[in-house]
Structure 1
Amino acid sequence: MSDNSYKQVGVWIDHAKAHLVGYKKGKVEVIETIESPYESIKRTEGEVNDMTRFSPNPEHTSNNEHKKNNITQNEHNEYFKLMEAKLHAFDDIFLFGPGTAKEKMRNRLRENKSFNGKWFAVQSSDKMTDNQLLAFVREFYDNATP
């Protein structure tokens, strides 16, 4: 089904992946699942500990820690940029899921001027099966008045 047929979407999102669920007149459908490029556990070949050369004290960390943080931030930005492109076609966006990814996504969308005039809602939830996702989005939009 085409993304353009839906104007309302529920997005279950965490830092690893997102499920887009389209809603139209009481009918719901999983439109797409988007995988994040973020890897929580990375092992670089030849990687050593994060201590400095002159001190075994872990309070004195090297630039390796900063490099890892920058890589993580870039991966998250790439993921959110991909999500922005996918969500641009929708008028009503309902973000839900565990963790903080949903709030970060909402804040990023609000800062983007091309999303002005669109309706956002955020709600916490746990991990869900596909049927639970569909029921959650249907119940939300059946009871919501944007």
Structure 2
Amino acid sequence: MNSNSFKQVGVWIDHSKAHFVGFNDGNTVLIETLESPFESMKREVGEGSDKTRFSSSNEHSSNNEHKKHNISQKELNEYFKMMETKLHSFDDILLFGPGVAKEQMRNRLRENKSFDGKWLSVQTSDKLTDNQLLAFVRDFYINANPDFKSV
């Protein structure tokens, strides 16, 4: 099955990857996994510490820290853009996962006018196996629509 046959999707998301799970007629399928270009602890080969020359304290960090922060924000922005393009074809979107990435993605989707008519929901979950991902999305959409009768 391709992602075009689904109108409801559950996305388990954190800053390192996202798993897209499609839901249709009581069936769930793992559509794809998207790896993030975002690296939280990036260190260049031969790079010195972030401390300033005159202080060994972490309070006095160099401008290198500011540069690293900007790079990580650009990588995170790129990751969310890739997710937006993949989510355009879905009408109902469930974002779930362990961290704050799901809220960051929800806020970004709400700011995007092309997602105005779409239904968004955010749930908290731990790290899940593939079977647990499928069950989580299935249970959520079946419970969200009490008229749905699973066969």
If the length of structure 1 is used for normalisation, what is the TM-score?
0.96
The 5 Å alignment of 1:1-146 reads 1-145=1-145
**What is the rounded CA distance, in whole Å, between the counterparts of 1:56 and 1:122 in structure 2?**
42
Aligned length in residues:
146
In terms of mean alpha carbon deviation, does 57-66 or 86-95 score higher?
Answer: 57-66
1:56-107: per-residue Cα shift (whole Å, max 9, x none)?
3332211100011111111100000000000010000000000100000000
What SS does the corresponding residue of 2:31 show, helix, strand or coil?
A: strand
What SS does the corresponding residue of 1:46 show, helix, strand or coil?
A: coil
1:110 aligned partner, one-letter code: R
1:24-62: per-residue Cα shift (whole Å, max 9, x none)?
110110000000001222220121111223333332211
1:7-29: per-residue Cα shift (whole Å, max 9, x none)?
00000000000000000110110
**What is the rounded CA distance, in whole Å, between the counterparts of 2:9 and 2:47 in structure 1?**
42
In structure 2, list runs of 5 or more residues that go unmatched. Answer: 146-151
Instruction: Give the alignment's Cα RMSD to 1 decimal.
Output: 1.3
In structure 1, list runs of 5 or more residues that go unmatched. Answer: none
Partner of 2:148: none
